[in-house]
Structure 1
Amino acid sequence: MQSQFNYNYDTIFSTETYDLQVPFRSIRDATNDFSESNKLGRGGFGVVYRIDVAVKRLSRDSSQGDIEFKNEVELVAKLHHRNSVRLLGFCLEGSERILIYQFVPNASLDHFIFVKREQLDWDIRYKIIIGRGLLYLHEGSRLKIIHRDLKASNILLDSEMNPGIADFGLARLFDTDQTRGETNRIAGTYGYMAPEYVMRGHFSVKSDVYSFGVLVLEIITGQKNSSFRHEEDAEVLLSYDLNSWREGTALKLIDPMLRSGFSGPEIMRCIHIALLCVQQSVAARLTMAAVNHM
C-alpha cells in the first residue's frame, strides 16, 4: 500500500521527539497483532489498545492527517504535568501512525458523566473541575498551547479519578506575546466550540475557556450540551443554565444524582464561573488564572 505521508519527518520532528520513536514490529508484538482482546475502545481517529500502556492506532481513513499527527507528537512530548496525559512513544512506518500514551484505567470523563453518573459524587466532580491542566497549557509551561478540542471525551481519568487532558491533534502553539490565531479550517466539536471560532475561525486562550465552561456545566448537570432539551422547548443547555441563573433557580440545574453530599455555595460558585466562561463576548470571559483564583 502506498504511504499516505506527504512530509519528510526526518526534517520536521525534533531530535528530542525522535527519542520517543518505537518500531512498528514491537508495538504489533506487544498488542498481539492488535487483537480484539486488547482493545480499549474506538475514538474519532482510530482504535486504542491496552497493554501496560495505551496504544492509539490511527485508522487509515482517519480524519487526523499528517499535520495533526506531527503536531500531537511534537506538542505532547514537551508537556509534563499531572493533568495532561503523557506521551511515551510513537511509531511512523509506511501507512502506520501510532501513539503510545500512559495508561489511564478509568477511561474518559464522558463515560462517567453520561453513563455512570451515579459513581461521580460531588467531591470527584469538583476534583475534576479544579484540575489545572488547562491553566498549565495557557500559562504554566514553557509553551503557550491552545487545545482547540477540549471536551468530556478528551479528559481521561486515572485510578484516583484525577483528570488528564488528551488528544492534542488540533492544538496550536502560540508565541508568548501572541493573543489570537486564525484558521480557514474549522475543526473541533460543535457545542464546545466558541462562537468566534465557529463563525470566523478565531481562536485564543478564551476559546479554550469557553470549552472549559461548557464542560463544567456538563459535569454539574450530568447533561450533554449537544443533546440537551428542556421539556418541549428547543432551549440548549447554555441558554437554559443562563436563564436559570438569572431567575435565581440555578439549584435546579444540579444533577439529580447530586441531591445530597455537596456544598451549596461551592457548587453555585462553579455554576457562576462556568457561565462567566461561556459569555458571547471574548473580552468578558475569564482567563484560566482568574478561574483558578475564584
Structure 2
Amino acid sequence: MTGLGVVFRPQLPPERLRAVARVADDVGLEELWLWEDCFLEGGISTAAAALAWTERVRVGVGLLPVPLRNVALTAMEAASLHRMFPGRATLVVGHGVQDWMGQVGARAASPLTLLGEHLDALRALLRGERLTVRGRYVSLDDVALDWPPERAVPVLAGATGPRTLRLSGAKADGTLLTAATSADGVRQARQLIDEGAKQAGRSEPHPLVVYLLAATGAGAEARLRAELAAEGLESASGVGVAGDAAAVAAAVRRLAEAGADTVVLQPTGDEPDPEGFVRFAAEEVRPLVV
C-alpha cells in the first residue's frame, strides 16, 4: 500500500503544530512531515514536540541541512528521538538551500562531498559504531554514541539533481523528492537511484518519498496556480493538483505507479484550514489510495 502523509508548513507559527499533530493522530493519518527551512522552524525541536503530543502518527523531518549540523549532533538527536519514540521518526538530510547556507556562513564548496561524508558517518554512528574520520568536511576522533538506537534506523537523503540522486542510492537508506517532481521525474529519479545503488553494490529496498503540492476547497485552483508561479513552476507539467479527494487521490496514484512508496501532500503556504486539510487527507483521500 502506498504511504500517505501531510506536511505541516512552517509558514504556520510553531504554536499551531500541537493542534495539527493531535488531529493527525486522532484521524489516523499515517505520517506528518515537518521542514527545517531557514529561518522558520527547527526540525528536531518540532519533531520532538509533535511526537510527544501524539501516540501513533509517524513524524518525518524533510530535511535537515547538513551544512548547519555537526554530524555527531545529528546522530545524538536522531538516536534520542528513536529511543524515546521507537519507529515513529523519519529523518532526512540534504544539501539545504545554498543561498540560505551562504547567509549563515555555512555554504560548502562541494555540497556533494559534504553530504556523502555526513551520510557515511551518520549511518555508522546510528549503528553503534565508533568512528575516527578525517574527511574534507567531517572530522571525528574516537566518537561513538553512548545511547545508540536499539534497532536499525533508516537515514534518508533529499535529492534533486542526478549526482545527488546517485549518491543517495549509494549511501542513503531512502530518498525524498520535492513537490517539483512529476511522475516522469519520479521514474527518472528511481533510475538514477538504482544506478547509484548498483555501483555501490547495494541491493536492499530503497524507499522513495515524494511531496505532492495539493489544494482543495474554495479557491483551490487559484491558490495552487499562485504557489506554482511563486516557485517558478507555472509551466511545469504534471506538478501539483487542485480539486476534490478523487482528483488528489488520482495524482497520488500516478506518483505511486511511477515508483513512489510514500506520497506526502504539501498544502499551499496559505492553506486556510490546516487541521481540515489533515482530515481531508486521512478521511477522504486515504480510502481512494491503495
- TM-score when normalising by structure 2: 0.26
By percentage of residues, which structure has more strand? 2
Larger CA Rg, structure 1 vs 2? 1
By percentage of residues, which structure has more helix? 2
Higher relative contact order (CA 8 A, sep 6+): 2
